[in-house]
Amino acid sequence: MNLANWRSQIRKGLIEFCLLNIIDQKEQAYGLELIEGLIIARLEVSEGTLYPLLSRLVRDKYLLPKWETPKTGHPRKYYRLSALGKKTLDEMKLEWDKLTESIYGICNETKNRRDISC
């Protein structure tokens, strides 16, 4: 098994979930804020990865974009969740809870979930 490939596949699947969560928590966010949020979560992505993903999420109607120009600085495109995006995020959270519960159970069936580390 190629560990680097496995890690890359897991990250790809989680980045959308994390982006939707960050936007939901902030109510709206622009690209640099999203990159910083992912860096804090140790899921660093390049602008070359982020912006095509955001464009796809807009095209698929999960995100609503809006340009704003602050009093100082340059215009920024902010993203917020659409109704479909919010519904999808809620469903993703349920799936995430089921998945992590299963993984934690496999890693160690006898410990409390919060104490488990594979």
- pTM of the entire predicted model: 0.83
Separation between Cα atoms, residue 37 and residue 106, nearest integer Å: 30
What average pLDDT does the segment 8-20 reach? 89
Average pLDDT over residues 2-20: 89
Structure tokens at 7: 């890690």
In the chain, % of residues over pLDDT 70: 92
- Closest C-alpha among 29, 37, 91 to residue 65: 29
**Domains of the chain in sequence order:** 3-115 (1.10.10.10)
Q: What is the pLDDT of residues 64-105, one digit of tens each?
A: 999 999 888 889 999 999 999 999 999 999 999 999 999 888
SS (H, E, C) the chain: CCHHHHHHHHHHHHHHHHHHHHHHHHCCEEHHHHHHHHHHCCCCCCHHHHHHHHHHHHHCCCEEEEEECCCCCCCEEEEEECHHHHHHHHHHHHHHHHHHHHHHHHHCCCCCHHHCCC
pLDDT of residue 105: 85
**Contact between 54 and 42 (Cβ < 8 Å):** no
